[in-house]
Amino acid sequence: MPGVTLKTVAKAVGVSPSTVSNAYNKPDQLSGALRERILATAQELGYAGPDASARALRSGKAGAVGVLFTDKLAYAFSDPYAVGFLAGLAEVAEEFATSLLLMPLSSTDIAGGSTAVQQAAIDAAAIFCVPGGHPALEILANRGIPAVSTDRGDHPDLSWVAIDETEAAAQLGEHLARLGHRDVVVLVDNAQAAGGRPVELTLDEVGYTDCELRIQGLQKAMPDARLRIVSGGHNAIASGLRGAEFALDSQHRPTAIVGLSDILALGALEAMKVRGLTPGRDLSLAGFDDIPAASAAGLTTVRQPIKDKGRAVGRILLDPATTERRLLMPTQLIVRSSSGPAPKH
């Protein structure tokens, strides 16, 4: 029926418009029978309910948490780490009847991403893999939107759920050092397309706080080693493949490759297979995160509680009973067959 409004439903049921509104917004104020009669009548008349945006204006709540990350939207559905984190966050959001708004921040369209954050109808924000200097973070602060980051920070107003990136990587570095490795290539991701032309970077050019801290942890544990930083694009199998190809075909082949994500390490594994190299014997390979595919590949890696991290971010943002604003999650070095003694050249 065209032009059906809240008043139309109220007249048909024989109640006031505010009673119909309560059936949607304050169901505890009505008897179950009356609410069911109102909703049934609304359905018969084709009334979809109060306008969501108008309801948000009246209540001051949007009923949504923004999830900010610097990558393409497909990354949120394809990267195992992102999928695990979002699954944990979604569990808590569902408990509090809150939706998630995925907000990819393009590395090339900074202004567009900032505008989207400025206009987004969100009550809070989860900051997932966003560089510290991104203008979107300042916009959130200026809007007074509560935010929780997956990176640690020293600012007194910053809330975070993170791991000790440096110490976790240092455990891996100590493991490789004990095995005699002194020439290591570290694979990192960057903002370029996956599988692009590999580039060698300095630490200052990495750009992501978690990656920088992991490299510093490796350096701390392996002071006598030669560490080269290589990237073949954003976090994807193809990027790990291209970066590893660059390292393996260079004049000075490393004795170990460390992917700062398991995804990059699994890409490197493909490059090793093509060259007939056996992980743990001809060259050691390690990753970071311990995604499900790491175990099947026999990949030495650093395990972090991915899904629990998402849950913890959700609790800080949505659960009034959660008073802790900063949480350091545990990590564990998982040694598998992909790492072994450094080969003697």
Ordered DSSP codes for 116-162: HHHH---SEEEE-S--TT-HHHHHHHHHT--EEESS----TT-EEEE
**pLDDT value of position 89:** 97
Residue type (1 letter), 40: A
289 shares its domain with 202: yes
292 shares its domain with 320: no
pTM for this prediction: 0.79
**pLDDT value of position 48:** 66
Residue 114 falls inside a structural domain: yes
**pLDDT value of position 147:** 94
Number of domains in the chain: 3
**pLDDT value of position 345:** 61
CA dist 42 and 184 (Å) reads 67
**In terms of residue numbers, what domain contains 22?**
6-50
pLDDT band of residue 77 (cuts 50, 70, 90) is confident
Residue 310 falls inside a structural domain: yes
The token pair at 189 is: 């991701």
| Average pLDDT in the chain | 89
CA dist 158 and 236 (Å) reads 30
Q: What is the mean pLDDT of residues 164-188?
A: 97
101 shares its domain with 156: yes
CA torsion angle 94 119 72 298 (round to 10): -40
260 shares its domain with 313: no
**pLDDT value of position 193:** 85
158 shares its domain with 169: no
Q: What is the mean pLDDT of residues 97-122?
A: 82
218 shares its domain with 115: no
214 shares its domain with 291: yes
298 shares its domain with 198: yes
Comparing 2 with 319, which gets the higher pLDDT? 319
**pLDDT value of position 155:** 72
Q: What is the CATH number of the domain that holds 97?
A: 3.40.50.2300
264 shares its domain with 295: yes
Residue 341 falls inside a structural domain: no
Residue 1 falls inside a structural domain: no
Lowest mean pLDDT among 60-74, 119-133, 286-300, 330-344: 60-74
270 shares its domain with 206: yes
**pLDDT value of position 304:** 97
**pLDDT value of position 156:** 74
**pLDDT value of position 261:** 96
183 shares its domain with 222: yes
Q: Give the CA angle between residues 200, 262, 325 to the nearest 5°.
A: 100
**pLDDT value of position 107:** 66
81 shares its domain with 16: no
Q: What percent of the chain has pLDDT over 70?
A: 93
Residue 336 falls inside a structural domain: no
- At residue 188, the 3 state secondary structure works out as strand
**pLDDT value of position 51:** 56
**pLDDT value of position 326:** 95
pLDDT tens per residue across span 135-175: 888 888 888 899 999 988 777 778 999 999 999 999 999 99
**pLDDT value of position 53:** 47
pLDDT tens per residue across span 258-296: 999 999 999 999 999 999 999 999 999 999 999 999 999
- On whether the CB atoms of residues 132 and 153 are closer than 8 A, the answer is yes
The DSSP-derived string for 220-257 is HH-TTSEEEEEE-SSSSHHHHHHHHHHHHTSSS--SEE
